[in-house]
Chain A
Amino acid sequence: MDPTEHIINLDEIDHGIFRSLPFCHGYCVTCGLCSSSCPASGLDDFDPRKLVRMAGLGLKDELVNSKWPWVCTMCGKCEHVCPMGIHIPDLVRNIRGLRERDKVPGILQKGIEAAIKTGNNLGVPKEDFIFIAEDVADEIAEEPGFEGFKVPIDKKGANLLTTIHNKLVNTHTEDLKHWWKIFHAAKEDWTITSDNWEGTSWGLFTGDDESVKIMAGRIVEHMNRLEIKNLMWPE
């Protein structure tokens, strides 16, 4: 092993970025409860205790370029057992947010950009979405007890607005039916929207607060425009 491999260049240490944020990682007592409780400990040598200590030491670039923050699912088990109340999942999300956007792994950034531009992660056009929704509604209407079933789209003054997960208009249209059938049976006055119906918000995963704000803002806008007081947002 190269003995210089783990030498830290003091010029690269950056305390500022993490110190200014309220994660309290400076109070870590290095007890290791986080690592013991973490279901991801050991994957690619991931160790939440080390991650917290690296943040405390100011090893910003090493953390931002590491796979660790993306192997962690921010499940919160570490935080639940931490005796010092350190906000480890928030710290992880913040590290993710510091990565250059073109280096965000997988399809996350592509999905966010499509959502901002088109209203949903897959870029499904409005007419295709309406066709799929009405097609699924027709299938439901063929089942006993659901005769005449229709999907209410952009219904002003409805009691309940619900958002939709993009995979349910793509590969899992069967799974659109369960909630819609429950609404029918419960005689709920519900609706979906023809635009900006996306319920997922991948900025939550990539540490992108701006996109989260835009996605949530669109739902608020729907509720104001359609005068709806209740929201079901299962994503």
Chain B
Amino acid sequence: MLATYHDPCNYCRKAEKLFGHGFYNEPRWILDQCLDNWVDLYPTRENQLCCGGGGGALTTGYNDERIAYGKKKMDQIKATGAEMIIVPCHSCHGQLNNIKKEYGMKDLAVKYLWELVADCMILQF
């Protein structure tokens, strides 16, 4: 199964600006350990597009705007052909799961980065 990865604004652009380090490479290293087959979205990293669920958008009640906002994100995912998207953010996870059906992608698997790690663990007894 082909997977792709979404950079959340807060761990990337905003962390870079506020704390001097954007977490672009760390999650990609983790993906390399867990998956044989994943591709980046385009645009990516500091030019990544917001999913539309951040900044409290999931809780303002402006749902039509939020769903329309997410169209570009869904187009990005479709363009990769991926069947799974990995995200390390609660807001992005909620937004992507909520809007995928609106764009004909109800079967898209949305996984937390730490969920992927937990799924891949093989415990030694």
Contacts and interface: CB of A to CB of B under 8 A. Distances in A.
Interface of A: 39-40, 43-44, 67, 70-77, 79-80, 89, 105-108, 111, 144-146, 165, 167, 175, 177-179, 181-182, 185, 200, 202, 204-206, 234-235
A75 B61 contact: no
A179 B60 CA distance: 29
Contact of B65 (A71, A146, A165, A177): A71
Interface in B54-90: 54-57, 59-62, 65, 68-69, 72-73, 88, 90
A70 B60 contact: yes
Contact of B13 (A76, A204, A235): A76
Contact of A73 (B54, B61, B112): B54
B125 interface: yes
For chain B, give the interface size range: 20 to 34
Given A39-B69, A75-B50, A80-B46, A178 B115 contact: yes
A165 B59 CA distance: 14
B90 A234 contact: yes
Contacts of A76: 9, 13-14, 17
Given A43-B65, A77-B49, A106 B54 contact: no
B117 interface: yes
B57 A73 contact: yes
Given A39-B50, A182-B114, A75 B9 contact: yes
Pairs of residues from A and B, 8 with the lowest C-beta to C-beta distance, nearest first: A205-B56, A145-B123, A75-B50, A73-B55, A106-B61, A178-B118, A106-B60, A73-B54
Contacts of A72: 55
Interface string B8-34: 010001100100000000000000000
A178 B52 CA distance: 25
A75 B8 CA distance: 9
B60 A105 contact: yes
A76 B8 CA distance: 11
16 contacts: A39-B69, A39-B72, A43-B68, A71-B69, A75-B9, A106-B60, A175-B112, A178-B114, A181-B118, A182-B121, A185-B123, A202-B59, A204-B56, A205-B55, A205-B59, A234-B88
Nearest to B111: A178
Contacts of A175: 112, 115
In this complex, which of A39, A72, A89, A181 has the most chain B Cβ atoms within 10 angstroms of its Cβ?
A39
A71 B62 contact: yes
Nearest to B14: A76
B114 A108 contact: no
A74 B74 CA distance: 19
Contacts of A204: 56
